[in-house]
Amino acid sequence: MGTWGDILTYEVQLNNKIRKPNRGLIYTCNCGWIDASHADGRDAKKLWQKLLNEEGRNYFQQGILGFKESQKVSNGKLGVYITTEKEYLIKSGPNLSQKKQIALAIFKDFNNQVEQNQGSGIKGTLSENWNGTSFSEEDLVSNLVGFYDSLEGTSWHDLCKPASVDASKAIFKRDGIGTIWQTLNKNETFTPKFHACDECPTSVFPQQYQSIPDIRKGELFLDFNESIAVREKDYDLFFGSFKDSPQGLLFQGIKNEVRLVVRGNETQRQFGHRALMKAARKAGLWLISEQTEYANMFYPPADFSTEVNFKLVWTGKIVKKIKPSEFNQKRGQYLTYELNDSELNELRKRKFLLP
């Protein structure tokens, strides 16, 4: 939120012969109020570098395989700080033009969330009542021009055409900018609000700050959802030719192993039966009858004299054949059951009703 003191800060820099001040508040003919510190583009530059390099761990979520990006900022005064944090999943492999669209969409989404948080909740309400900080007239526009300056090499000092400090002071006194003592001017968009100014015969928001088309969430990026996103390395992406089908888009991944405590009197067959039932539950097959039917396909309830061999994992080593004596040593301890391809395929068929 800009204040009278911010205009004075800008003025001091001009008096010190700083041609392009990087702090303070000034009115501009083509971009309305600009907060120079918001327009520095540092956060946008960090985001852009991560997108260029596709930095981050790979996850699979809702048909998108990509990398996770986290955004976090804390704002406040006088010991009242409001933290905003969001995570996104960005599709791997977009071209340069698409990366710019993703960067802009995330930048707008996150900054909009920051402003919302500054006006909500206990801390936000206190802050809002004291200084009207959320969606202050200059905030989102200043963020946007800083974004473009970082990515495209433009300069708001040249394109926005700052008015003089005296003209800015006059507009502030007359129209305010959002403080509790002034008119509560808000701007919840990334398009500037203009004020009458003798030094500005025309006011046209530069096309250079509107050149990247907006995109919506869903195709190239998503809100990261920890409850359904899965690490790429942890899951076998099964669908292959189904990846563009409705089933493939729904696919969240079926984990290929489950951990259970070995009960004191159960056999390997019973342990495997119980592991498959747990795998079915984790995959979202909630009907008990279906789980039992599924488990019985691989581990019939009949008690045979010889134990079946299946993969068990402990201490980082996969053991393909487990003797009863070795199995007995693990009673009361955790064992990891690793599903084979047939078990995984059957589980996926049941989850997505595939033939």
User: How many angstroms separate the Cα of 339 from the Cα of each of 196, 286, 297?
Assistant: 71, 19, 13
Average pLDDT of the chain to the nearest whole number: 81
At residue 172, the pLDDT reads: 92
User: Following DSSP, what letter does each residue of 23-55 receive, concatenated?
Assistant: SSEEEETTTEEEETTGGG-HHHHHHHHHHHHT-
Q: Is the pLDDT of residue 301 over 50?
A: yes
pLDDT (mean) for 19-47: 94
What's the burial of 248, exposed, middle or buried (CB within 10 Å: 0-12/13-18/19+)? Answer: middle
Q: Which residue has the higher pLDDT, 242 or 257?
A: 257
At residue 289, the pLDDT reads: 67
User: How many angstroms separate the Cα of 342 from the Cα of each of 221, 233, 322, 345?
Assistant: 33, 20, 20, 5
At residue 229, the pLDDT reads: 74
pLDDT digits (tens, 9 = 90+) for 65-75: 889 999 998 87
Q: Which residue has the higher pLDDT, 209 or 322?
A: 209
Q: Tell me the pLDDT band of 312, cut-offs 50, 70 and 90.
A: low
| Distance from C-alpha of 77 to C-alpha of 283, rounded to nearest angstrom | 47
* Residue type present at position 133: T
Q: Tell me the pLDDT band of 241, cut-offs 50, 70 and 90.
A: very low
| Distance from C-alpha of 12 to C-alpha of 257, rounded to nearest angstrom | 64
pLDDT digits (tens, 9 = 90+) for 44-67: 999 999 999 888 778 877 767 889
Q: Is the pLDDT of residue 284 over 60?
A: yes
Using an 8 Å Cβ cutoff, are 89 and 61 in contact?
A: yes
pLDDT (mean) for 27-41: 95
Q: What does the buried/exposed string (b/e) look like for 278-291 if buried means 16 or more CB atoms within 10 Å of the residue's CB?
A: ebbeebebeeeeeb
Q: Is the pLDDT of residue 247 over 50?
A: no
> Dihedral of CA 161/164/168/171: which sign?
negative
At residue 128, the pLDDT reads: 45
- Of the candidates 143, 130, 3, 126, the residue with the CA atom closest to the CA atom of residue 73: 143
At residue 182, the pLDDT reads: 44
Q: Tell me the pLDDT band of 355, cut-offs 50, 70 and 90.
A: very low
pLDDT digits (tens, 9 = 90+) for 110-151: 999 998 888 765 444 554 444 446 788 999 999 999 999 999
Which secondary structure element, helix H or strand E, spans residue 82, and what is its range?
strand 80-91
Q: What percent of the chain has pLDDT over 90?
A: 43
pLDDT (mean) for 79-85: 78
